[in-house]
Structure 1
Amino acid sequence: MINNRVEFCKKDFSLYNDFQKNIDICKRHIVEIDNKCASVASDQNGDTEILEATEIGTIQKTMYEKSKQALEKAIIDDTLNMFIINRTIELCAGVVECNVHSAVCLTILHGMSQEKAGDYIAYSRPQVSRFLSRFFENPGCKKMYELAVEQSKENFHNLTTHNS
């Protein structure tokens, strides 16, 4: 990965399911942060509202808001990477043979092991491995990756400018 963006290689594309897991974790942390912010706000409105408590509460709330912004950025980055991977594979449907495309979908998008994907599409694990290699060596697939990156810039431009 360069600048937190996936490159057209098996290693980066294999992170697809990890991106989804990270998004789920970030979303849970955002809920926790929102709860902490609400707790700080209710503490500030109580009877113990003295200057020092207010300053501490303000600092805590600022810290939580910064953490939330970082998590939201991570969600956007991971979603963008998932879009690029998914869109590349989608665009390659007409570029590679059906068995290669199926192997890529099963192992990358669905997170199956090469053995399980091979069983599913009636090929051996070594053949599935060769299918994956052919996918990443195919110049047409590399062009589809570049197209997916361009489309991601268009599709995510509004989303990222509204959150900045």
Structure 2
Amino acid sequence: MHSLQVQNELLHHEIDGLRNALTTKKKHQKKSKPLDLQQRKEYHGGAVYWSPRKVREARARGSVKQKEKDAEKLHKAETKQLKTAATLYKKKMAEEAKVVQQMAKEAREKDRTAAAAEAAASKAQKQQEKTLQMLYNCPKEARGQLHNKIEVRSVLWRLQMIVQPHWPCQSHNQR
């Protein structure tokens, strides 16, 4: 039991030492940048002594430059974010436009199909009326031949007459 307690204390002491070493190392990793001390034009080399005011001014210029860099980075990040948002918005709007176009296309196709079906029905009805008119106007011998040819059409026409009663030859009967 005593040995475990001693080992625990040694490990804690070692951990504290490693933490101190790590913080010291991090402090030394901080890179220092040279101050922007502005030299005179007549500098010819040799040792130069700077007044505390000049050092303070140089540090102030350095902090202003750093703030400008940070502001520029922030501005670039915001610009990038806005561009990304605009791109996503454009993609979404294009997708919605495609959906609207597809729906309009389907509606036009449906209208075309309905119009074609209506035109085909109208054409079939006119053909049926024409055939029946020919049947009524031709001699009795030809009626049998025509009747065999149009038997299917007449069945359809009769069904249509049940649904829509109207006699195609009313004008003929009134003459």
TM-score by length of 1: 0.31
Larger Rg: 2
TM-score by length of 2: 0.29
